[in-house]
Amino acid sequence: MKRVALILAGGKGTRLWPLSREKFPKFFLKFEKDKSLIQESFLRLKGFFDVKDIFIASGGEYRYLIKQEIERLGFKYPLENILPEPVSRNTCSAITLGAFYFKNRFKDAIMSVFPADHIIKPYSVFHKALEKANSCALRDFLVTLGIKPDYPATGYGYIKAKVARLKAKNKKAKVASPPDRRAGLKAKKYYEVERFIEKPDIKKAKRFLKEGGYYWNAGIFVFKVSKILSEIEKFMPEIYNKFQKWNGKDFTYLEKIYTDLPDISIDYAVMEKSKDIALVPFSGIWSDVGCFEEFYKILKKDKSGNVISGRVLNIDSKNSFLLSDEERQLVTLGVNNLVVINTKDATLVMKNGEGQKVKKVFEILKNDIVTKEHKLVIKPWGWYKVLEDKPGYKVKILGVNPGERLSLQKHKYRDENWIVIKGEAIVTLDKKNIRLKEGESVNIPRGVLHRVYNPDRKRILEILELSRGEVIIEEDIIRLEDKYER
């Protein structure tokens, strides 16, 4: 049976603030070897799936950015493999979206689901676990990968496996003999699942580790498309029925149904209710990189136990995670067991071990710009950097990649002035095209259609943008043409 992968690129990574923001989710963060987490996820799956059979479900606003991330790895990646969600409605809706898409395109397949932002090693051990999971899924089980715990973690959900493995009723049978689909399941491959458990306190986590038979819930699933859809129809008809009318092609239709979908995970919606759940253990290296402590555990440390990255001057500090933006100097003197994250516009200082509480900080600051975006904001056409943001005016530098252009747009509440500081620009102003060289500028009154194009095929175009007006927000952009379908 055909195998397909669905990477779920969602969430905000609130426990990794200020590195992750609403408009710069966790899966774009670079972890090691200068690759982002979503790039690592793609490379990890490439050895098990054909590139054309790896799909990604994510917010529509990230579609082109994700395509660019994958193509930086040297692959030509089709845009139609990125399934855009109008809004985030948790993993049940995202998986239902993928399952209906695969049903319409392939009729049936073995569908494997992966978070976009995990670290898993070694690939060979992971692929062996996936092979076992695929074999089990062929027998109409919903399979989850369970991570064998090596410490009493309180930040993960757990899965309790039944002591007895799934055994063949006919011990001589080498393959399943209908109608008993459990026949032929060999020892040391699969467990039936007894129950799913919420994140425990430290006392329970220690007991789980001591007793054995408990696994971390990694959010990795393998099942037939037909099987997961039948279970969603059974347990979540309010989601199933909405998608049933979708043809698998018209993504604008999803905008009509998504706002009414319940915000629920596949664990709560289906996995905890179904009677056909199996677990395949994975004993390799795994981390959901859900907080800074997880980063610290995996990254290489110096002889004093420090992880240091960026513009950092450290004197006599120990056992600390010290990270600073290249434009901001961080100095630590004699500190111990701290996490210090120093970005262009926000600094986090906390005791190592308090990482689960960062989410509270994010909630408190949720209306502040520092939780929404970085000073440097990545766009499909390039980037922009905010230099100054005050009442009545805002100053930015726009970096337009070679051969790229912004959308044809206008503003209702602000005037703009563009000054070319590097490269050469072709500016559309109403129906005229104006060529600007370095040092030349153009004034753009509110209500006037405009855009900029970088004709150079090698150099980035940089423009100093001064916006003036009573309201200066990204939402004040009225697009008439946009190659990125925003």
pLDDT by residue (tens digit) across 423-471?
999 999 998 999 999 999 999 999 999 999 999 999 999 999 999 999 9
Same domain, 236 and 314: no
Cβ contacts of 30-39, under 8 Å, gap ≥ 24: 31/119, 31/289, 31/295, 31/298, 32/299, 35/73, 36/69, 37/116, 37/117, 37/118, 37/119, 37/289, 38/7, 38/9, 38/66, 38/69, 38/70, 38/116, 38/117, 39/69, 39/70, 39/72, 39/73
User: What local confidence, expressed as pLDDT, does residue 168 receive?
Assistant: 39
Q: Which of 266, 287, 308 is the endpoint of a domain? A: 287
Averaged pLDDT of the chain: 91
Judge if 61 and 38 occupy the same domain.
Answer: yes
Predicted confidence (pLDDT) at residue 171 exceeds the cutoff of 80: no
Least confidently predicted of 152-156, 317-321, 468-472: 152-156
Residue the block writes with tokens 């049933």: 244
HSE-CB of 375 using CA atoms within 13 angstroms: 13
Is there a domain that residue 367 lies in?
no
Assigned domain for 20 exists:
yes
Q: Reply yes or no on whether the pLDDT at 174 is more than 70.
A: no
Report strand pairing: 330-333 vs 312-315.
parallel
Q: How confident is the model at residue 183 (pLDDT cuts 50, 70, 90)?
A: very low
pLDDT in tens, 257-304: 998 999 999 999 999 999 999 999 998 999 998 899 988 988 899 999
For the chain, report the end-to-end CA distance as a whole number of angstroms: 36
Residue 368 CB-density burial (10 A; 0-12 exposed, 13-18 middle, 19+ buried) = exposed
415 lies in some domain: yes
Answer yes or no: do 82 and 8 share one domain: yes
What is the band of 164 on the pLDDT scale with cuts at 50, 70, 90? low
256 and 345 within one domain: no
Domain assignment of residue 65, given as a range: 3-287
The pLDDT of 142-169, averaged and rounded, is: 82
Query: Do the Cβ atoms of 286 and 216 come closer than 8 Å?
Result: yes
Question: Considering its fold, how many domains does the chain have in total?
Answer: 3
CATH number, domain containing residue 432:
2.60.120.10
What is Dmax (Cα atoms) for the chain? 83
- Give per-residue pLDDT as tens, 356-398: 899 999 899 988 989 988 888 999 999 999 999 999 999 999 9
Domain identity same for 114 and 213: yes
Instruction: Encode pLDDT of 120-140 as tens digits.
Output: 999 999 999 999 999 999 999
Which of 313, 338, 362 marks a domain boundary?
Answer: 362
d(CA 266, CA 116): 16
Q: Which of 244, 261, 287 is the last residue of a domain?
A: 287
* pLDDT the model gives residue 34: 83
Same domain for 214 and 69: yes
